[in-house]
């Protein structure tokens, strides 16, 4: 076996014949830098000029410019408008709901009502199956005789035999919080 001592090997010499040495080295580096700066400036100028030519309004029209995409606008034929006249009698609530009676329940949870407004249990509101939103109802508890005026802003109740669902604060006013349901008489105020 032969042991090679690395320290005993002579150091390799780097050939420097390709690198310029002496006073000409500084001048060559400056010329190289100047050439690179000029090339970069010419490249940037060419990019800026090409976008300026595309955006120029003074350029002579070419066949390609005339072939631009122009979407065709189709106009819809206008149908004759119809006018509907509503009599005042039709705006009043139906008389069938003027003296309805049955069971009422209350609800205290929910995010949004059917009318789109946010449910607030502290407001005097109610849910009715068919009356328009904004209708004012007087709900009277038959057992206690208490009554409250509520505004319809939701749809329901969806339980058989119930006439109206009222908010928690309306249920407190009617005295039906403990029982959950109560026999009521509902009449339309306006």
**pLDDT on residue 91:** 44
End-to-end alpha-carbon separation of the chain, Å? 115
User: How far is it between the farthest Cα atoms of the chain?
Assistant: 121
* pLDDT digit string, tens, across residues 24-54: 677 888 888 898 888 888 887 777 665 545 5
Angle at CA 145, nearest 5°, toward 139 and 148? 30
Number of separate helices (H) and strands (E) present in the chain? 4, 6
**Contact indicator for 146, 119 with CB cutoff of 8 Å:** no
Q: What is the pTM of this model?
A: 0.48
Query: What is the spatial distance between Cα 150 and Cα 129, in angstroms, rounded to a whole number?
Result: 15
**Contact indicator for 143, 182 with CB cutoff of 8 Å:** yes
- 63 — pLDDT class (breaks 50, 70, 90): low
Overall average pLDDT of the 62-82 stretch = 57
* pLDDT digit string, tens, across residues 128-170: 999 999 999 999 999 999 999 999 999 989 888 899 999 999 9
**Contact indicator for 100, 163 with CB cutoff of 8 Å:** yes
Overall average pLDDT of the 75-79 stretch = 57
What does the block give as tokens for 51?
């976008």
């Amino acid at each position: 076996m032969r042991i090679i001592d690395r320290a005993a090997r002579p150091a390799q010499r780097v050939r420097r014949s390709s690198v310029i040495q002496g006073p000409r080295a500084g001048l060559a580096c400056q010329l190289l830098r100047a050439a690179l700066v000029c090339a970069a400036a010419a490249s940037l100028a060419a990019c800026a000029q090409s976008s300026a030519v595309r955006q120029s309004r003074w350029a002579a029209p070419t066949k390609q410019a005339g072939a631009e995409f122009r979407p065709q606008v189709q106009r819809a034929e206008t149908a004759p408008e119809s006018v509907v006249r509503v009599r005042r009698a039709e705006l009043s609530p139906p008389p069938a709901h003027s003296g309805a009676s049955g069971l009422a329940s209350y609800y205290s949870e929910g995010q949004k009502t059917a009318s789109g407004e946010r449910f607030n249990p502290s407001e005097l509101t109610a849910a009715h199956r068919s009356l328009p939103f904004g209708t004012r109802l007087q709900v009277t508890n038959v057992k206690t005789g208490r009554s409250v005026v509520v505004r319809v802003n939701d749809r329901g109740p969806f339980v058989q035999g119930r006439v109206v669902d009222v908010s928690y604060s309306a249920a407190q006013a009617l005295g039906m919080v403990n029982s959950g349901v109560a026999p009521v008489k509902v009449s339309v105020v306006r």
